[in-house]
Amino acid sequence: MIQNTLANKKILVTGGYGFIGSHLISRLYKECEVAVFTRKTSNPWRLRNALSQIHQFTGDISNYSDIENAIKQFQPHVIFHFAAYGVNSRNDNYLDAIRTNIEGTANLIFSAQYSKNLEKIINLGSSSEYGETDEAIHEEMMLKPIDVYGSTKASATLIAHQLAAQLGINIITFRPFNLFGESEESHKLFSYVIQQILQNKEVLLTPCDQLRDYCYIQNIIDAFLLVAVNPVVKNEIFNIGSGQVYPIKYFVDTIFSHMNTNLQPQYGALKYRENERMTPQPNISKVKNLLGWQPNISLEEGILRTINWYRQNEYGIGGGLINDH
């Protein structure tokens, strides 16, 4: 159930067929009027059971008229802006990152003024905006991204808040650290490890000494819904994560401990990626204090739920869609 004050509202989600967007929409579509703005090539497999109850607007967010037309037609109360390029490190076209993350975000904010119903925009930033630091990362720290994805996301956040302020639009940005959960892309750590074990294939890894804060997706969605109905919190940026940092080995070993396998993780079989961040540690006191949010589902429970989902969908949904994203 969602909060009563969000029920029956019109919710527009950009990037709604992705990992985060689909989990949000799964929580909303039975009680809200939901629309997605998505590329024609996006695969809606994660929301196959909800498609008949979702409005779909297709277009390119870097094309101003596409997103403007969607907003004018749908007139949303709340916009969740999740569309981004470069979350997958293999997507390394810098111009596409600029067009989608910076120009696309600016297009969305400027177009949002044409919704007479608009209450707020909830924007998805990234911990990559901060770059590498040994300190616990708080929201007021200087942004020093170390790759183009982080740079474009940092630029998008700054532009979004500046433009929203000039237009009188309430915008909230979340900067998530590491997420995991059901139906995540196969190249992501948790899904890769789980699927390799299920297929009895070697799990090839870096030394995995990097520190990470992994938070279960449903805890993140809780925060989005809390801010969506909060009438007081306005124009803020929040770090979001579990608040607990471990070496990646810890997460991998925990997954292995819950699966019946004779395989062993092959630490050191792969080299670290270029520009690998080794010590990102979020300070999440702001989101706890201002929103009263905390991660209600434990790391271990989230891992168990994720493993069970992949077990049930081991050979793909509807003929292999588990790897079709």
Q: What is the pLDDT of residues 165-214, one digit of tens each?
A: 999 999 999 999 999 999 999 989 999 999 999 999 999 999 999 999 99
Closest CA to 237 of 175, 169, 295: 175
CATH number for the domain harbouring residue 221: 3.40.50.720
Express each pLDDT in 106-126 by its tens digit.
Answer: 999 999 999 999 999 999 999
Q: Strand (E) positions, 91-232?
A: 120-124, 136-137, 171-176, 178-180, 211-212, 214-216
What is the band of 88 on the pLDDT scale with cuts at 50, 70, 90?
A: low
Within a domain: 290: yes
Calculate mean pLDDT across residues 63-72.
98
pLDDT of 324: 34
pLDDT of 92: 73
User: Alpha-carbon distance 60 to 100, whole Å?
Assistant: 8
- What total number of domains does the chain contain? 1
Express each pLDDT in 13-29 by its tens digit.
Answer: 999 999 999 999 999 99
- Domain containing 233: what range? 6-180+215-241+281-296
Within a domain: 205: no
pTM of the model: 0.94
Within a domain: 198: no
Within a domain: 49: yes
Within a domain: 204: no
Within a domain: 28: yes
Within a domain: 252: no
Within a domain: 191: no
